[in-house]
Structure 1
């Protein structure tokens, strides 16, 4: 399904933020790794969370759910020996489960999205698992990947953090269940450190002891631990809400989003500060963000590694800002569902944006008068690109057509429903 986005002058109304995809995924995993029954309240419903639900069921977890909660009886460190797992297009789910699969004699992760997840590299995690005595068969670091484990070893473990923090999170989830104590050292740089903070937060809520250095580059994890069955409540999602807030910022608006807590460890919480720095009229208190936009923004310079999954939405806002904006330290965007620098900027140019790229930067020369639009653009099967291109369409002079926009369901299935409720002119077409 494609989406036609027609220029929209005004957005108004209130919505509840969707639940956090990152926290839902992590809570589902630690619940499966516990021996006992856990409850997850207000879980996210998306293709990613559906993927991990499906996979932990295949691995032996009992999963029951209703409209408000999921109840999971876990398998601990004894997953069912599934022969095959299908994570869909969910990179984080694949990487987290690659480590858990080290307890299995043999399991293959299949490649159902060869043009998206199938292109993404996992070499750094593969190398770390091999050093732990796990045999990994792969295709130049890519899917399909077969894990042959059974008895992974702890001890001294090294993993590069220069491509993705998900590799480190994966090993952190595994290490407490090993017979030996582990020391994990991160080599090179560590991208998206704030997301590691979420992993550590969830692990500690699950009763796991982890000692992390202040710079998050070294970890000591005692072995022979057990994840405790707990009740978890999922907070609102900043990465998805970033697109809603940016849409409000570039239009005449009065938009309120609930369940976005000020003390959240989601790095994308920084998008609130980014929009303020762009002189957007915005308040944030008691878990409520209110934007009273007038479409007039000021350019700025921002460290994108602080809010990785919010960068594309903020770039879309910067397209309409007065002056030149710079988003730096964002090379890891190249290793997502698509190359979120080259592929995204290619589509922005089609719509009329003046943007340039460097290896780890996005530079936006703002056009406050708006863009021409009137084009068909390719979102490259990427949910974040779909959401960000929608923002651009709202301020274009002519409608834009976003191909395969239904892939927004990977993280935010009701994104367009929320925009419609706020007054956006968007329409599904075949």
Structure 2
């Protein structure tokens, strides 16, 4: 168990946000499915990204990791030797799991998927239904990730509900253009997390694969396409920048660098949410920052398109005037932890007034957070980082347990936090 003591501080200075984890997954996969050699620049070797790199290696890609870039020699090459039995360790990465399941069905042989944490509780029925329709063999262990699949995916028509994770749709979008025949994905209900689909289609287009998107109701996919190698740079991650925007809304003074103001990332919604709550945003040549010049006020936050930023905007809402409601947030219950329960429990411990609903939160703003006790990350990177930002406004220090889970997406978070002036006492570190 690893522990940090965090004392009230004002973060100030410049920070380079990590590269987008969502885009990094997609660029590495597209490069690995391409012919030729690609270089992907601005890579941060978080646990999730390492899981995807290792997964593509299992399928035959040659990926050399350098300091902040990877060089990828694609799977479709003359000297490829495909293992007929493969083990893909997804660690705790839901993206790796759901992207790789259909991709693995491009190849002969058996693929075994394993993982840790709550990953085995993530629903996979959407794929199981496809397996049954196409005669693909599989077995799995309930509530843990220990699954084997054997068979090859066939082109055709696929019907998926829109209120499931977009990761299922992305996994099929990656795979279907490589099949020997055309396919169509029909979405039967209103689609959530459209921005993640946009990121997938944009990245695939950059690597030479085109898909027709009919207003997110259906995707028309020509078969026999090829991914083409290229050099690619990953932009900064708005889901990580959200922690610093939130810190600024709470009184810090941070210039946030390496963000694309025209990004397709859905987590850029943090700018609109905090703007409605009273933050003013300023764009400079190489950075963005925000500040609150009056007071923070309540709003209604729809989590359906930006679930990853909900824990940290909940923190801002906790000290905003009035009642904030977070809606359409049910999917947060099946992330690395039950994030609705986790953020409610931990922020309420330190003085917030949050009521948990089945698919959302009701937050009554308070004047201040007290701190003065132990809080737990629930071994979830976004809960840990949210609690660290909370410490900057707590009257008394907090003790954060299991902080090292930030390695899942932002391994250097606490280095950056300290560099910006965060008051960290490492007396409690160690097992």
Task: Please tell me whether residue 147 in structure 1 is matched to residue 145 in structure 2.
Answer: no
Q: 1:18-417 residue pairs with structure 2 within 5 A?
A: 18-76=18-76, 80-102=83-105, 103-111=107-115, 113=116, 115-140=117-142, 142-149=144-151, 151-214=152-215, 216-251=216-251, 253-286=252-285, 288-293=287-292, 296-368=295-367, 370-417=368-415
Query: How many pairs are equivalent?
Result: 423
Give distance in 1, aligned partners of 2:41 and 2:132: 36
8 Å contact kept, 1:120–1:337: no
How far does residue 80 in structure 1 lie from its aligned partner after superposition? 3.7
TM-score of the aligned structures, taking structure 1 as reference length = 0.93
How far does residue 161 in structure 1 lie from its aligned partner after superposition? 3.2
The runs of 5 or more residues in structure 2 that have no matched partner are none
8 Å contact kept, 2:51–2:90: yes
SS at match of 1:94: helix
Give distance in 2, aligned partners of 1:70 and 1:179: 30
Q: Mean Cα displacement is larger for which, 300-309 or 229-238?
A: 300-309
How far does residue 68 in structure 1 lie from its aligned partner after superposition? 3.5
Give distance in 1, aligned partners of 2:203 and 2:3: 37
How far does residue 223 in structure 1 lie from its aligned partner after superposition? 0.9
SS at match of 2:245: helix
Residues 56-102 of structure 1 deviation map (CA, whole Å, 9 limit, x = unaligned): 12221111132242110011397543431111111100111111111
8 Å contact kept, 1:344–1:379: no
SS at match of 1:305: coil
How far does residue 254 in structure 1 lie from its aligned partner after superposition? 2.0
Residues 180-203 of structure 1 deviation map (CA, whole Å, 9 limit, x = unaligned): 211111233422111111011111
What RMSD, in angstroms, separates the aligned Cα atoms of the two structures? Answer: 1.9
Give distance in 1, aligned partners of 2:133 and 2:143: 15
